[in-house]
Amino acid sequence: MQKTALPGSVPIDGWAVFLVLACCASWGMNQVAIKVANAGIPPMLQSGMRSVVSALLLLAWARVRGIPLFDRDGSLWAGVAAGAAFALEFLLLYQGLEWTTASRGVLFLYSMPFFVAIGAHLLIPGEKLTVIKVVGLVAAFCGLAIALGEGLIGGAGDGDLAGDILCIVAGFAWAATTILIRTTALRFISAEKVLFYQLAVSAPLMIGASIVAGEGMPVISDSRVVLAFGYTAVVVAFISYVAWFWLLARYSPSAMSVFTFLTPIFGAFAGVLVLGEAMTWRLLLALVLVALGIYLVNRPSGAKVA
């Protein structure tokens, strides 16, 4: 079994900060792009098509870079399981964004780091919850409760409680995928192959789900739908992921992960600026608490970020 190289210890520089901020901004904008593309491409079909396009791009990238994707390394069944969890995550997210706003969707999706922290505490030796992480979990829980409460009392504008809940469950599925990758043979293979498993397995599952649900074919009458879909498939699911893998291979993963608290902030304000969604004081408070929670959960212990 071929093990990947240990992450580098290069000090974080301006280029790294620029790249990680660009990744976080692209991931935050992803929910907005999904909502725009949903106007012409049914949600389940769109998620499956995205995986197809991204998998083909990744296949070409791996071929050019000489990265093996089909070697036998004992990771097949773990890869299939990760792909199935990946499919569930995006089926829930895309459908959830049909029923709630992008601002709320990105907030609830980023419940993922907290599910990961709890799962790692229970399943991964040496990754126990610290006092700081518990404070982060409590802050995030309060933020999610405030946002859900806003949906319950009908103060969420165009948001819908059912869509909110689907996005939270999508966050849980994302966390399950992450824990699976960190506790199986997938941790020994290249990040590109792990991503390829997720894209290649999820594509037929999501397209099959679309057919079973009777979603129908895309009806594209607006160029913005095509541009939004291209953004999710090319910029987010291919370019940003490859850039992220490069960052994790060169710099400290914990130092990189601490920046992810910015993603829901980028996403929420993108929803406001691009889609004209409302930013209520409850949602703003929830956003601050969740971002604080992500920062504390990912904060390197006893070390400075930069």
Q: Which two tokens stand for residue 9?
A: 């210890």
Q: What is the pLDDT of residue 6?
A: 45
Q: What is the pLDDT of residue 152?
A: 64
| Whole-number Cα distances in Å, 131 to 128, 295, 297, 301 | 10, 14, 10, 11
Instruction: Convert the pLDDT of each residue in 82-98 to its tens digit.
Output: 999 999 999 999 999 99
Contact between residue 125 and residue 267 where contact means Cβ atoms under 8 Å apart: no
Q: What is the pLDDT of residue 12?
A: 74
Contact between residue 265 and residue 28 where contact means Cβ atoms under 8 Å apart: yes
Residue carrying structure tokens 């919850």: 129
Q: What is the pLDDT of residue 278?
A: 82
pTM of the predicted model as reported, rounded to 2 decimal places: 0.85
Instruction: Convert the pLDDT of each residue in 238-270 to its tens digit.
Output: 999 889 888 877 787 667 778 888 899 999 999
Q: Predicted confidence band at 160 (pLDDT cuts at 50, 70, 90)?
A: confident
Count CB-CB contacts under 10 A for residue 227. 12
Domain limits of the chain?
Answer: 14-298
Burial class of residue 259 (count of CB atoms within 10 Å of its CB; 0-12, 13-18, 19+): buried
* Least confident among 27-41, 85-99, 110-124, 188-202: 110-124
**For residues 14 and 153, what is the distance between their CA atoms, to the nearest angstrom?**
44
* Least confident among 57-71, 87-101, 127-141, 225-239: 127-141
DSSP 225-251: HHHHHHIIIIIIIIIIHHHHHHHHHHS
- Helix 76-99 vs helix 161-183: angle between axes, to the nearest 10 degrees? 160
